[in-house]
Amino acid sequence: MSRLEDSAVARKTRGAFFTPPAIADFLARWAIRSLDARVLDPTCGEAVFLLAAAERLRRLGVTPEAIAGQLTGVDLHQPSLDASRALLRDEGAGSRFVRSDFFDLPTPAQIGDRIGWQDAVIGNPPFVRYQEHRGDTRRRSATAALAQGVRLSGMASSWAASLVHASAFLNPTGRLAMVLPAELLTVQYAEPVRRWLRRRFAVVNLVMFERLQFRDAEEHVVLLVAHGTGPCDSFCLYHVDGADDLVQIHPMDPVGANPAAEGKWSDLTLPLDTRQLFKSVAGERMARLDSYGTPELGTVTGANDFFAISEVTRRKYGLTNEHVKPLSPPGTRHLKGLSFTRAQWEELKLAGERVWLLHPEKTARTKGLSEYLKLGEERGVPGAYKCQVREPWWRPPAVSVPDLFFTYMSHRYPRMVTNTSGATLVNSMHGIRLRGDIPREARAALPLLGLNSATMLGAEVLGRAYGGGILKMEPTEAASLPVPTTEALLSAWKVLAAQRLNLDAALQRGEWWTVVAEVDRVLLKNVMGLSVDQVGAIRDAAAVLRVRRTRQTELNGSAKA
């Protein structure tokens, strides 16, 4: 079967994406250090890694006959094995091939081993997201990872278990060289893998790319090269633009890093000087958002289409204040500026938006309410999970009115919005109630002062990217967002309060970059004492990570919100 016959859809289904030869050559060159090295590609696909390994061994002086006995390729897809065998034959080399699901193969430490200890494991494990990685395949992959002491969650994509299982075929001095999705650094389900890497290997190196490297996949990747027996006491980074730049990497080029023992490694995507600057500013000159108030989930109704109602619906069923509470409509599109006021809520009510949350008092049963609840029953609302687990199903646990809204799903950046509307919220946003000892000015000041480059860079580092470039911040991630200290906030607010209306208008026109520039000038430069170059470095880093996340090419702020 040719690559053309093996469709992109079929490859994507099984998580197979063809690795650029420059990447395979680099990993083979790094991993294979001796003439007698035994090399395993656990998911060999169309043999790009086996071909690179054969060429590496040939350059070291190994004969073609010996090469065939040193290489092993594993794949469940028979056409890929046939293609691999033909390609190696055409290059005058050979390999042992094993048709099997990789997770079915016992390791050399287990009974029934068919592979043996390896000096190098190289490859590109399949990247199948958790929605497709399920059933018996997921069970076997989770079991294989658990055998190496790594307990993966049900959200884990297939690459995580493949990486862990592959390491079990390495001898104590063996080398692991893998292409992995960049979410290794950022997603929560990869946390057990990050801890395991620090525990399993003595040396861990990562190669970061500025550009996408796979034609068929819109995923950023990193190269993981690790060896020795842990715990890790050497962690280094390389930054390159693309695969063609790998040949220029010099042994003295890596930059030492000290990733967090727990949590994400997102900041490793930043160059060393920028990473150190950001850590210094965030850790020494700023505060965490939860020092003002803890971000909390909005009301989880289980069926927003039913529980969030319009003024027309409220009147139709004769619902009163005993039945409903004012609500900021689901979503965040109506939050254009720095605040959400009662007047804006009234405008949305007149426009037919869903500005009421159904939250009846248990004793407030009326004919109109009964009719509306009957409508919900006809629609199957009581069968929704959140409705099933509460009593009564028709009374969601309304969240208290917050001082601030926090837009945790964002295309460009998360925002805080002052809430003077008296409205509660559903779980399309977070809410923040300010602590009693926080200065009253913070309610108006935080949404504006939060629009600085250091806070925006913090969001990129702490948040997680989802499909379409959406940045999401769960409450625990939002809680650790770096924001101005109360002292810095009050000092900057003395200057910016007078400009608030003009800056708010600019924000509502979509001119967010002018707002950020002015807040940076007052807060970061004048109040916090950062130099112009330092402010520029932080702003540029935030822009680069934002563009990388959204896969756009413009840095000038003209991207769509």
For residues 189 and 327, membership in a common domain is answered with no
Given a cut of 80, is residue 239 above it in pLDDT? no
- Measured distance CA(447)–CA(483) in Å, rounded: 10
Residues with Cβ within 8 Å of 333's Cβ and at least 6 positions away in sequence, in order, are none
Give residue 212's pLDDT: 62
Task: Identify whether residues 170 and 277 lie together within a single domain.
Answer: no
**Same domain flag for 527 and 459:** yes
pLDDT of residue 218: 58
Beta strands in 442-526 (DSSP E): 464-466, 470-472, 482-484
Q: Report yes or no: 51 and 89 within 8 Å, Cβ to Cβ.
A: no
- Residue 153 pLDDT more than 90? no
Whether 194 shows a pLDDT value over 50: the answer reads yes
450 — phi, psi (to 5°)? -70, -15
Q: Both 62 and 169 in a single domain? A: yes
Q: What's the pLDDT score for residue 7?
A: 47
- The tens digit of pLDDT for each residue in 99-132 reads 998 999 999 999 999 999 999 999 998 875 544 4
Domain count of the fold of the chain: 3
CA distances from 109 to 114, 148, 192 (A): 11, 11, 22
Confidence of residue 256 (pLDDT cuts 50, 70, 90): low
Q: Tell me the Ramachandran region of residue 151: left when phi exceeds 0, alpha when psi lies from -120 to 50, beta otherwise.
A: beta
Q: Are residues 132 and 231 in the same domain?
A: yes
Three-state DSSP class for residue 38? coil
Q: Check whether residue 214 and residue 86 sit in a common domain.
A: yes
Range name among 71-80, 216-225, 247-256, 288-297 with the lowest pLDDT average? 247-256
DSSP 509: T
Whether 556 has a pLDDT exceeding 60, the answer reads: no
What pLDDT is attached to residue 535? Answer: 97
Peptide bond into 20 cis (omega under 30): no
Among the ranges given (217-226, 251-260, 529-538), the one the predictor scored with the smallest mean pLDDT: 251-260
Q: Tell whether 111 is covered by a domain.
A: yes
- Strands, E assignment, 306-378: 308-309, 324-326, 339-341, 356-358
Domain ranges, residue 256: 8-269
CA distance 496 to 527: 12
Q: Is the pLDDT of residue 164 over 70?
A: yes
> Is 316 inside a domain boundary?
yes
Instruction: Give the pLDDT band (50/70/90) at residue 268.
Output: confident
What is the tens place of the pLDDT at every residue in 316-330? 999 999 999 999 999
Q: Is the pLDDT of residue 17 over 70?
A: no
For residues 193 and 167, the answer to whether their CB atoms sit within 8 Å is no
Bigger pLDDT: 312 or 243? 312
In a domain, 425, yes or no: no
288 and 326 belong to one structural domain: no
Tokens 């003209």 correspond to 558
387-399: average pLDDT: 93
Helical packing angle, 21-31 and 48-60, nearest 10°: 50
Judge whether 2 lies within some domain: no
22 located within any domain: yes
Average pLDDT for 169-195: 89
Tell me 65's DSSP state.
H
Q: Centre a 10 Å sphere on the Cβ of residue 74 and count the other Cβ atoms it contains.
A: 24
Interior/surface letters 143-180, b for 16+ CB within 10 angstroms, e for the rest: ebbeebebebeeebbbbbbbbbbbbbbbeeebbbbbbb
DSSP run (H or E) holding 312 = helix 311-316
Q: Residue 372 and residue 310: Cα distance in Å, rounded?
A: 13
- Per-residue confidence (pLDDT) for residue 44, from 0 to 100: 85
Which one, of 421, 425, 447, lies nearest residue 434 by Cα? 447
Both 54 and 75 in a single domain? yes
Please tell me whether residues 170 and 141 are part of one structural domain.
yes
308 and 246 both lie in a single domain? no
List all residues 6 or more positions away from 19 whose beta carbon is below 8 Å from its beta carbon: 45, 48, 49, 124, 179, 214
Higher pLDDT, 324 or 364: 324
DSSP symbol at 299: B
382 within domain boundaries: yes
Mean residue pLDDT across the chain = 87
Residue 471 lies in a domain: yes
Query: What's the whole-model pTM score?
Result: 0.75
259 C-beta neighbours (distance < 10 Å), count: 20
pLDDT at 215: 59
Q: What confidence score (pLDDT) does residue 255 get?
A: 64
Q: According to the model, what pLDDT value does residue 14 have?
A: 41
Q: Are residues 255 and 283 in the same domain?
A: no
Whether 201 is in a domain gets the answer: yes
Please give the share of the chain, as a percent, with pLDDT higher than 70.
90
pLDDT band of 91, cuts 50, 70, 90 = confident
Both 434 and 521 in a single domain?
Answer: yes
Q: Domain containing 48 — which CATH number?
A: 3.40.50.150
Quick one: what percent of the chain has pLDDT higher than 90? Answer: 59
Per-residue pLDDT, averaged over 229-252, amounts to 76
Q: In the beta sheet, which residues pair with residue 40? A: 72, 121
Count the neighbouring beta carbons within 10 Å of the beta carbon of residue 247.
11
For residue 5, what pLDDT band results from cuts at 50, 70 and 90?
A: very low
In angstroms, the first-to-last Cα distance of the chain is 44
In degrees to the nearest 10, what's the CA dihedral of 127, 132, 133, 136? Answer: -150
